[in-house]
Structure 1
Amino acid sequence: MRQLLAILLTPFALASLVGLVVLFPTGDAPAVSSSGLTPVDGTVTAAQAGPCSEGDVGGTDCLTLTVQLTEGAAAGSDIRTTVPLEPSTPRFAVGDDVVLAYNGGEPLSGQSYQVVDFQRGFPLVLLAAVFAMAVIALARWKGLSALAALGVSIGVLVVFVLPAIVRGENPLLVGITAAGVIMFAVLYLTHGFSARTSTAVLGTMVSLALIGALSALFSAFAALTGLDEETATLVGVLGREVDTRGLLLAGIVIGALGVLDDVTVTQTSAVWELRAANPSLGWRELYAAGVRIGRDHVASAVNTLVMAYAGAALPLLLYSSVSGVGAGAILGSQDIAQEIVRTLVGSIGLVAAVPVTTALAALVAVREVSPATPRTG
């Protein structure tokens, strides 16, 4: 059975590696249109509210900030700049570490800078460290493997996916290749080379193929262009034509991969443990018991997926709800419709992953797990 799994999976693993080599970005990145602004860090040392200009009575209020620059041509110097006090602008205060946009003018002139955001490097690094310690404390060596696998996933996205798309490669091909590489690398690195892991990989691959096919079908059927606000900004920055629908499909495939891994690994492990606990169970009994476990899992996973997308799109949903147009127009808009397709297609893939992976796991487990086979922790 292990040889059969290897025969089934080897061509797809080789195809992922070949795609990685063929599509891997080489050479210099193409020039993109730039705003001419350079980010510079600084710390707010003083803040005073008042009119935006002298003699402006009853006009717009501004916050005049004194910022000590910590980098750039004027590092160590203080500059004064104003920030409009509007509902859409952040509220800065003394002691805040901020990011300024420098336009290339006189380094000591406040008019050459604009405060645009807060510095968030240290809180994010601290949170990542707490997350890593929590994972290792609970899962120990397997947690360490999971963190290494997470590093591989991030590396594939940063080193391969983003540069390849920027250099003009087909986004859908890049997304499919990245999903294949991440799937093989993450599952085997986290769970080891075994028939159990190979079964989970096969179930993930089948479900991912279904998601890709449904995404392509319904994005075309619903006339989704992929041109939401962020993608339109990207096209403007790149200054050339981009396959935005392919970019949308690539995002759906890569986004569904993480949840699929969870479902397929859980189903495979459940079937293996059921067989080890009761070696008399045959394929039908293992399949029926595994599907009963999977029903509860997939019900919660689908809700998680929907809530994750709804939470990410909450500002857009709020804006649409107060825009004064009907629900049909809101749901049919590009931004909302593509999230609906993304959510429902991903959920269909999750639902399909349970019976598919459970059936594969039951077929393999009855041949791999015998009364003499020790249980794995």
Structure 2
Amino acid sequence: MKKINLKTTIIILSLIIISILFINNLRINKADNLSKAIVLKTNNSNVISSGVTNIGHQILTVKVLEGGHTDSKLKASNHFTGTAEIDNYYQEGDEILISIKEKQGKVTAVKAVDLYRQHWELLLFGLFVLILILYAGYTGLRALFSFVASVYIIWNILIPGLLAGQNPLLLSSFVLVLLTGIIIFSIAGFTRKGLAALAGTLSGLFITIVITIVFGNNMGLRGMTAPFSQTLLFSGHIDLNMKHIFYASIIIGASGAAMDIAMDIAASMEEIKLKKPDIEMKELIQSGFNVGRAVIGTMTTTLLLAYSGGYLTLLMLFVSKNTSLRRIINFKMVSAEILRTLTGSIGLVLVAPITALFAGWIYCSDFFIITWLKDLKSHLKFLRP
């Protein structure tokens, strides 16, 4: 069996620490006093159904499966809003989350919150981890570290900062710089490849920010097209800058694909340099351009499919109503997705040549950053990929 080295140990310990902190954070913020329960009986006499929607409320007899009321049988209410994407219609045997309100140690109200899906989500995540590590080995472990670290940073830095009213563009830019560094250096290590991918990704993303602001302002988009935007404002956050939050979501959404392209090009150029050490900078950059052209050909379509897939039912509605193309492309929600798709695609196209230029310069020259990296690697040998 291969001996576990120091860098593997560090990554495993980091994963454990981040996971513990994240889970602890979820427990601390358990403000609704949620408990798991199973539905024993339903009373649907006050429910009026119309197609897939319901109005009225269910009365549920539930058995609590955890917490201070374990094994207790309680009556819980499930109120319908008439919105199918939010409401749940419970049946006997369903495992659900309930909110228990108490006063002076006595239960005063029990409300059904949602189906209990956590166990299936954890199983799916476990399957993802298993496949990732079985296929990619140590690289998969590093990818898992960057994945967990990204979730932790978004949940504990980006989201609280946005809710606190911090400048969305500045905060998201800071988070993207931090995430890009963590993700790229976790995979590539402190190497020329990692440095080239980092420089290309950040340069392309910051150009994309400028394009997003210019075209977003001229298209009159205010950021209210995202799901639950209005609910968020009216839940005590009326002062949030939803337009800039929308802009930030565009940049964040495109950042993952931008990192993919930058890493593909940097890695390809590294292989070329290793196979042909005497290659000139101009020739190496041209090779990077050629790789970039092939990669962005499919990546821009990937963005289109990803975004349009989220609004498939809206597109079906347009077709069913024989809506004209002119009406469709000027519809606010569609315009927002056009802005998201095209600015993200422009960013991807720009990342490719920028990364090729940086990589060509970094691989074919010896400047102070590379010297610093060499010194760092000599002292921190466990960071060498």
Which one of the candidate residues 155, 158, 165 is aligned to 1:161? 158
Does residue 70 of structure 1 match 2:65?
A: yes
User: Could you list the per-position Cα deviations for residues 104-132 of structure 1 after superposition, in whole angstroms to 9, with x for gaps in the alignment?
Assistant: 799768xx444342111111111111211
Q: Could you report, residue by residue, the CA deviation over 1:82-125 in whole angstroms, capped at 9, with x for unpaired residues?
A: 6779892444333211124557799768xx44434211111111
Instruction: Please name the residue that 1:343 is paired with.
Output: 341
The answer as to whether partners of 1:69 and 1:79 remain within 8 angstroms in 2 is: no
TM-score between the two structures when normalised by the length of structure 2: 0.75
1:268 to 252, 258, 266: 266
Q: Output the CA distance in 2 between the equivalents of 1:178 and 1:257.
A: 11
- After TM superposition, the structure 1 stretch with the greater mean CA deviation from structure 2, 176-185 or 307-316, is 307-316
For residues 41 and 323 of structure 1, the distance between their equivalents in structure 2, rounded to whole angstroms, comes to: 43
The match for 2:350 among 326, 345, 352 is 352
User: Mapping of 1:94-113 within 5 angstroms?
Assistant: 94-100=92-98, 112-113=109-110
What is the number of residues matched between the two proteins?
A: 328
1:170-319 correspondence to structure 2 within 5 Å: 170-228=167-225, 229-319=227-317
Give the secondary structure class of the aligned counterpart of 1:237. coil
Q: Deviations over 1:53-80 (max 9, x none)?
A: 9xxxxx9898664322335775521326
Shift of 1:315: 3.6
Q: Name which of 36, 39, 63 aligns with 1:41.
A: 36
Is the Cα contact below 8 Å between 1:282 and 1:366 reproduced in 2?
yes
Q: 1:203 touches 1:356 (CA, 8 Å); kept in 2?
A: yes
Whichever residue aligns with residue 42 of structure 1, its letter is: A
Q: Would the aligned equivalents of 2:200 and 2:355 in 1 still touch at CA under 8 Å?
A: yes
Instruction: Rate the CA distance shift 1:243–1:63 in 2: closer, same or farther, 3 A.
Output: closer
**Sequence identity of aligned pairs in percent?**
23
Between the aligned partners of 2:282 and 2:161, the Cα distance in structure 1 is 46
Inter-partner Cα distance in structure 2 for 1:37 and 1:195: 49
Q: Which moved more, 1:297-306 or 1:358-367?
A: 358-367
CA distance in 1, matches of 2:98, 2:274: 61
Report the alpha carbon displacement of residue 199 of structure 1 after superposing the two structures with TM. Answer: 0.9
Which moved further from structure 2: 306-315 or 190-199? 306-315
Q: Which 5+ residue runs of structure 1 have no aligned equivalent?
A: 1-35, 54-58, 369-375
Q: Deviations over 1:228-275 (max 9, x none)?
A: 242221111124311111101111122211111110011011011112
Aligned counterparts of 2:345 and 2:326: Cα–Cα separation in 1: 22
TM value normalised by structure 1: 0.76
Q: Is the 8 A contact 1:219 1:341 kept in 2?
A: yes
Range with bigger deviation, 80-89 or 260-269: 80-89
How far the C-alpha of 1:37 sits from its partner, in A, is: 7.1
- The answer to whether residue 149 in structure 2 is matched with residue 152 in structure 1 is yes
* Maintained 8 Å contact 1:73/1:107: no
- Partner SS for 1:337: helix
Q: Deviations over 1:200-232 (max 9, x none)?
A: 111111101111111011100101100124222
- Aligned-pair RMSD on alpha carbons? 3.2
Question: Within 5 A, what are the aligned runs for 1:12-51?
Answer: 39-47=34-42
Assess, with a 3 A threshold, how the Cα gap between structure 1 residues 62 and 177 changes in structure 2: closer, same or farther: closer
| Contact 2:180 2:198 (8 Å CA) reproduced | yes
The CA distance in 1 between the partners of 2:322 and 2:59, in whole Å, is: 37
In the alignment, the residues of structure 1 paired with residue 167 and residue 82 of structure 2 have an alpha-carbon distance, to the nearest angstrom, of 41
- For 1:8, the equivalent position in structure 2 comes to none
SS of 1:98 mapped into structure 2: strand
- The DSSP-based 3-state class of the residue aligned with 1:41 is strand
How far apart, CA to CA, are the structure 2 residues paired with 1:281 and 1:60? Answer: 71
Q: Which amino acid aligns with 1:241?
A: D
Task: Name structure 2 gaps, 5 residues minimum.
Answer: 1-30, 49-53, 367-383
Aligned to 1:15: none
